[in-house]
Amino acid sequence: MRPALLASFCVLVAACESDLTVSPSTVEWMEWPAEVPVATPFMVRMLVSRPGCSQGVYKPGASADQSAVTFAPYFLVKDKPQICPLEALQRDIYYVDLDTVGTAPGLAANYVRTFEMRASSSVYGPERLTAADVDVPLRTYGEVTVRLNDPDSPESTTRNAGGFANKFVDNGCVQLRPAGGLGWSYVLEDQADTSGLAYAFVRGYVHDVVTPVCGQTRVFELLSRN
C-alpha cells in the first residue's frame, strides 16, 4: 500500500466506528516554493475537489519519502447523504474547489537534490470522485529543489506549479486560470505559446520578469502541457 494512502486507510478504520465516511479527493492545482531549505517543512497551495454537498472535515494527507512529497487529500463526511441548499447550488458553492494550504514535511538531503511533488489526481481531466474510489491515481506535478545551509540558500521568489488549467483572453492578454479556481489567474510569459490549453494538465513556474508582460511583472512560464 502506498505510504500516502496508509494514513487514509487508518482513518477509514476509525470512521467505520462512527457515522463518518472517508471521501477521497483530487488536487486540481498545486503550487509550492521552487527551492526549500533542508529538513524544513514548507507550505503548498492546493485547489482540492470537494465531496459535493457533504463538505465534511478536510485532511491534506501529506507524506514524504526519499524521492517525493505526496498529497492524498480526503474529507471525513457524514454517511447520510446531505441535500444541497438551493441558494448554495445557485451560487455553485459546492462546485468550486477548496482553495487551501498544506504543509509538506521537511526533506532530508546530504547534498543539493530534487524531489518530485505528487498528488492524487484524475487521469484524463477534472472529475469528481465518489466514496467508492479508494485507489486514486497519483500524478507528478513537478519538482522541488532541496538546498543545504549557506552559501546554498534557497531562492525564494520562484514558485513551481502544476495542475489542470484553461486559458482565457482579457483585453488581448492571454492568461492561465487554474481549473476549479475562482477569479484568479496568471499572465502567460510567452503570449504566443497558447495552443492546447483547454483543460490541459500543465507544469511550469511563477516568477518575476524585468520586462512586463501585459503590464505584469509576475508571470507564469509554461514548461509542458498534456
- The mean predicted confidence, pLDDT, of the chain is 84
H or E segment to which residue 29 belongs:
strand 27-33
Q: Which residues does 67 contact at the CB level (< 8 Å), separation at least 6?
A: 115, 116
Residue labelled with grid coordinates 519538482: 143
Amino acid at 75: F
3-state secondary structure of 51: coil
pLDDT surpasses 80 at 145? yes
Confidence class for position 153, pLDDT limits 50, 70, 90 = confident
**And the C-alpha cell for 164?**
489542470
pLDDT surpasses 50 at 6? no
Least confident of 4-18, 65-79, 84-98: 4-18
Q: Are 139 and 121 in contact (CB under 8 A)?
A: yes
Sheet holding 138-147, edge to edge: 35-37, 138-147, 113-120, 68-71, 62-64
Q: Are 211 and 187 in contact (CB under 8 A)?
A: no
Confidence class for position 19, pLDDT limits 50, 70, 90 = confident
pLDDT surpasses 80 at 167? yes
Question: pLDDT for 192-207, tens place per residue?
Answer: 999 999 889 999 999 9
Confidence class for position 56, pLDDT limits 50, 70, 90 = confident
pLDDT surpasses 70 at 69? yes
pTM above 0.85, yes or no: no
Region for 91 from its dihedrals, namely left if φ exceeds 0, alpha if ψ lies in -120 to 50, beta otherwise: alpha
When pLDDT is averaged across residues 121-144 and rounded to a whole number, the result is 72
* Per-residue confidence (pLDDT) for residue 151, from 0 to 100: 64
Domains of the chain by residue range: 3-147, 163-225
C-alpha span between 198 and 194 (Å, rounded) = 10
Amino acid at 47: L
Least confident of 90-99, 118-127, 142-151, 165-174: 90-99
* Per-residue confidence (pLDDT) for residue 85, from 0 to 100: 58
Q: Which ranges constitute the DSSP H helices of 121-199?
A: none
- CA separation (Å) from 39 to 31, 96, 108, 110, 198? 19, 34, 5, 10, 38
Confidence class for position 134, pLDDT limits 50, 70, 90 = low
